[in-house]
Structure formats: C-alpha cells, structure tokens
Chain A
C-alpha cells in the first residue's frame, strides 16, 4: 500500500475540510505506526476532529510516543520524507498541512476514531476542552474562551462531565468553566470584550488575572 499516493489523492481532493484533515492525519499516523511509533492528534486539530464547526486548522500537532529502540530523527526523516513533506525548522510542511510534534509523552485519555482503513488516535474531547478553559483563565487568551464555548455548544450532552471536572479541578479552573457556560446560555454576543468581562469577574473573585 502506497501511503504517499493516498496522501497525494487526499490533498488533491476538494472534500470537506475536516474530512481532508482526518484522512491526512490518519495517513501520517499510519506511516509513523509502520515505523513502530504511536502518534496521537492533540491541539487545534483535535478540536476540529471532535467538532469541525468549532475550529478549523491545517496545523496538525502530534504527540509521538518515545521508543528507545527507534532512532527518532531517522524515523521522522524517513516517514515525512516518504510522504512528500519538507522540513522547515521544527516542522514538516506539505501543501496546506503543517505538522508539528510538540511532545513525546501521552498521559491523557485518548479516543480511537473509527476511520477505515486507518483508525486515528485523538486526545479525548474533554481534555482539549479543559486545556482551552485553563488557557483562557490563566493566560487570558480570549480566543481559547471562544474555542471552549464552541466546543461546549457542539458537544452538548455528549460531554463526560466527570472526566472534564477531573482535568479542571487539577488546574483549579472550574470557575472559568461555569462562567463560560453562563455566557453560552445567556445568548449574549461572543466578542473579545464579553470574554474580557468574564475574565474580569474571575479576577475580581480571586482568579489569577
């Protein structure tokens, strides 16, 4: 099976953005798997794979688990080179795909999305949601607040509250979660100003900002 040929076909197609991302990610992860490496999609691409209308990205962040028996530099160069990617500093690019490997350890819950012929490992939706809520609270990045609101809307009752709460509690961010839920339910406009107002309330109540 020629993965390069498959990727050529996917990237040349004009399918839906999320479909293209899912297939591209599945091919890249399969190529890494054939090198004995387990890859998991994290970050913005994980958001899009869980909730396509919440976020769209061509930045594919992968956590590729370390294996002592594998020469990582050589395996990486072989894998991405064979798929037609070009190295650019720490990244690999091809067409509109921008692949980065920001980590080598995966300790978070993962789901396996049933994509045939290559199932795809993606960090659990509750983890990416919690990360956006925590980033909103502790870094004041309002765009993360928007992503969190979009995911809350998309996931609805499919959200595993227990898993989400566990991640929020670890970072003491349940207050930001509740505040964002209130904003979502209010029907108010979601702008930089309204999200800054949420941060101000959190700060006045003893948050970090």
Chain B
C-alpha cells in the first residue's frame, strides 16, 4: 500500500473536537497568557522552539526534574 492509498478516518475524533471547540468559543477572549509561569524547558527544546519563533509569552520557572531531565508528574511529594 502506498501513501496515496491510505484513507484516514478521524470522524469520531473530529465530532468530539467540534463539541469541545464550541464550548470554548468565548474562552480565549478572557485570557491574557503574558507572564504566566510554566516549568522550565530543557535547553534543547527551548532552543528548538526559539529557532522556530514558537516560544509563548510565558516565564519559565524551575520545577523538579526526573532522572531523565524531563518535567515529572507534579505532586504534593515534590511541591515547591
């Protein structure tokens, strides 16, 4: 089978997205994300996003890291 024979069907997913998007129609009018704090990205990811001009207007803050250097699951055991 080659790529042009592949038939994607996302019908069920698209119906779910449509319902959820409809509920959010006015939400973003209330939001200003500027200055919101988010976990610090690893340097490679931050550089990759910066090079693409895709860094959001958030402020990165230090949070716990797992053994691989990724942001772990938050919990009361690793509160800051």
Contact = CB atoms under 8 A, between A and B. Distances in A.
Taking each of A6, A139, A145, A153, which has the highest tally of chain B beta carbons within 10 Å of its own beta carbon?
Answer: A139
B70 A171 contact: no
Nearest to A136: B74
For the complex of A and B, list the 8 residue pairs with the smallest distance between their C-beta atoms, beginning with the closest.
A135-B74, A116-B9, A143-B38, A138-B79, A5-B3, A154-B20, A102-B70, A143-B36
Interface in B1-58: 1-4, 6-10, 12-14, 17, 19-21, 23-24, 27-28, 30-39, 42, 44-45, 48, 52, 54, 58
A146 B23 contact: no
The majority secondary structure among interface residues of chain A is: mixed
Contacts, number: 163
B38 A141 contact: yes
B3 A9 contact: yes
Contact of A115 (B8, B21, B61, B75): B8
A131 B73 contact: yes
Contacts of A51: 17, 20, 24
Contacts of A115: 8-10, 13
Interface in A70-99: 88-91, 93, 96, 98
